[in-house]
Amino acid sequence: MSQVFSEETHRNMLARIPHCTGREISDWLRAVDDGPALLRFEEKVSWLRHEHDLAYGHAKAIIHEYDLRRAARRLG
């Protein structure tokens, strides 16, 4: 499972990403969706970091949110 942050920490990190990166979370989620079809969590984090020059924590939070939303879509 990709969860390593508490829910509160994850939400706080997501709230800071637009200010730190200049892009909204929805833009980052679209970038992940349009990126390569990687399977493993850490592969996705690594790709996002290197492709977009993101900090590790930001990339990890984006991928975690992406995985949460993808799982919610499958259940809904």
| Percent of the residues in the chain that have a pLDDT greater than 70, as a whole number | 92
| Alpha-carbon gap, residue 49 to 11, rounded angstroms | 19
pLDDT recorded at residue 33: 95
Q: State which amino acid sits at residue 50.
A: H
pLDDT per residue over 35-59, tens digit each?
A: 999 999 999 999 999 999 999 999 9
Average pLDDT of the residues of the chain: 92
Distances from the Cα of 49 to the Cαs of 15, 32, 46, 63, 74, in angstroms? 18, 11, 5, 11, 26
| Alpha-carbon gap, residue 76 to 71, rounded angstroms | 9
Indicate the pLDDT class of residue 74, thresholds 50, 70 and 90. Answer: confident
pLDDT recorded at residue 26: 97
Question: Is-contact 63 32, C-beta < 8 A?
Answer: yes
